[in-house]
Structure 1
């Protein structure tokens, strides 16, 4: 009997945790002032700050869990990169995937969260060590994705690292242009970026 009650309690606790994470992503994606507030998010779903602390420990643990949730969702997003395709097609697939993905609600949520966290890495690690560790893990995973995408093509690993470092910022710029209503042809921009990266990786 006690074991059954414990399972029910665990299921309720897990459901509460899931609801909090989903509420956080919705709030963050809205970009509204004050959306980066664990206390506000708790209130949005009728919980208390104490409930957030019980589930995540503190705001750092909460934001780290939010970051981890989005990482889980996008774990297979680059599975569509064809390992039998030529270099140009692989680069284009990565560019196109990011172009679509960075406009998704989860991506907007993370952009807003990152904008609210300390910019200085040392300060971020001091104040939000769990969130900093999660973001660091993201960077390592992204680098590995890029190395895996070109592993069989004999591309210089250092050039892959440079390209991997460049691509996310470049794509955020193009996505921002799309959201602002750019007069530029962004299909041409993506094609130009793809061609430039391919030429660099082939050198």
Structure 2
């Protein structure tokens, strides 16, 4: 395997564990059997490296999405919520959250030190929102209001990340019940 691919696949594997210390290029390089000098030669700097990791996840994006099956708004909301939930739990989703947590934040602060990485994360968020809107574009019957769909596209990933965090850190909240309530509330909002 070429050095570039080895570094990127090693980074994805390590980040997919969710361990915060894996947001270390030196650790990734060492695990890949390479050096920081290899990273510099291949990616320029840490910004180039993390941006490349995110771009690799973006390229994998289509395989993470399923085609909608339901013909109702409620069915589509339930499908997309379950899809988001499974993506967040996937190695790709965990890798993105690990990068977000390990690099400077919020996004405008990250943009100062890692402009390419920040742009890649912003692009990923835009692609998720577009994929969400597309999920509802093929719905039979009256179209879903575009502004309301955009609102839900912005809210749903954050809400599901919050439920996932509650589940990981331990809570007395019934996560499945909260998930169903979220689907019901968002369906009601989309249906007007």
Distance in 2, matches of 1:25 and 1:47, equals: 16
Distance in 1, matches of 2:126 and 2:20, equals: 31
1:169 paired to 2:155: no
**In the TM superposition, what is the alpha-carbon distance from 1:202 to its structure 2 partner?**
0.9
Alpha-carbon RMSD: 1.8
1:16–1:76 Cα change, 3 Å: same
Return the match for 2:45 from 58, 75, 81: 58
5+ residue gaps, structure 2, are none
- How many residues get paired? 189
Alignment match, 1:183: 172
Q: Structure 1 residue runs of 4+, over 6 Å off?
A: none
SS at match of 2:22: coil
SS at match of 2:34: coil
User: TM-score scaled to structure 1, two decimals?
Assistant: 0.85
Distance in 2, matches of 1:65 and 1:104, equals: 19
Distance in 2, matches of 1:185 and 1:122, equals: 35
1:81 paired to 2:65: no
Alignment match, 2:3: 16
Alignment match, 2:129: 143
Distance in 2, matches of 1:74 and 1:121, equals: 21
Distance in 2, matches of 1:90 and 1:106, equals: 23
Alignment match, 1:115: 101
Q: Which has the larger radius of gyration?
A: 1
**In the TM superposition, what is the alpha-carbon distance from 1:123 to its structure 2 partner?**
2.3
Instruction: Give deviations 1:146-183, integer Å, cap 9, x for gaps.
Output: 22122254222111111111001110112223323443
User: TM-score scaled to structure 2, two decimals?
Assistant: 0.89
5+ residue gaps, structure 1, are 1-11
Return the match for 1:160 from 133, 139, 149: 149
Q: Is the 8 A contact 1:99 1:174 kept in 2?
A: no
SS at match of 2:3: helix
Larger CA deviation: 121-130 vs 193-202: 121-130
SS at match of 1:46: coil
Distance in 1, matches of 2:35 and 2:114, equals: 21
Distance in 2, matches of 1:178 and 1:186, equals: 7
Return the match for 2:188 from 189, 194, 199: 199
